[in-house]
Amino acid sequence: MDIHEILAHLPHRYPMLLIDRILECEPGQRIVAIKNVSINEPFFVGHFPHHPVMPGVLIVEAMAQAAAVLSFRTLGTRPDENSVYYFVGIDAARFKRPVTAGDQLRLEVVLNRHARGIWKFSAKALVDGVVTTEAELMCTQRAL
């Protein structure tokens, strides 16, 4: 999926859109997405000027955005202005190495379960094949 399809599957926009491309998507199973980490990211101005590091919460958010695309693709729907896709839980989050300007994050998300409107995922982010972050995510879609 290119950026135009991603924009159709996520309500996020700059500066909160954290996915650049979807490499693989198996609805009901898994998704693989890419986030190119540029020195031009707005968070690098203050985190940290002398050593640019992507905030861990944004890495987790990028994994959740990939999970959201997987959810919408699984349901065969797209987001609209009458609903929102929320985090309801983040468990076992681990940050194993910093992500810096120039890195390319590979976001791998697996759907573990979907029941009663709650989606559970296992997610990890990698740079050059090395895991930087991993977490278990729970999300739901709610009407506004």
Please answer whether residues 42 and 34 qualify as being in contact, where contact means their C-beta atoms are separated by less than 8 angstroms: no
Residue 54: predicted pLDDT = 98
| Domain span including residue 103 | 3-143
Q: What is the mean pLDDT of residues 55-79?
A: 96
Nearest to 119 by CA among 82, 143, 85, 78: 85
Residue 49: predicted pLDDT = 85
Indicate the number of domains in the chain.
1
47 is catalytic: yes
Residue 107: predicted pLDDT = 98
Q: Give 10-66 as a DSSP string.
A: ----TTS----EEEEEETTTEEEEEEE--TT-GGGGTS-TTS-B--HHHHHHHHHHH
pLDDT digits (tens, 9 = 90+) for 14-52: 999 999 999 999 999 999 999 999 999 999 999 998 999
Q: What is the mean pLDDT of the chain?
A: 96
pLDDT above 90 as % of the chain = 90
Q: How far apart are the first and last CA of the chain?
A: 28
Q: What is the mean pLDDT of residues 59-86?
A: 94
36: domain CATH number?
Answer: 3.10.129.10
In the predicted structure, residue 108 carries a pLDDT above the cut 90: yes
Pick the catalytic residue: 47, 50, 51, 114? 47
In the predicted structure, residue 83 carries a pLDDT above the cut 90: no
Q: What is the mean pLDDT of residues 2-17?
A: 94
Kindly report the pTM of this predicted structure: 0.96
- Please tell me the distance from the alpha carbon of residue 140 to that of residue 88, in angstroms, as a whole number: 7
Please answer whether residues 123 and 137 qualify as being in contact, where contact means their C-beta atoms are separated by less than 8 angstroms: yes
β-partners of residue 126 are 106, 131
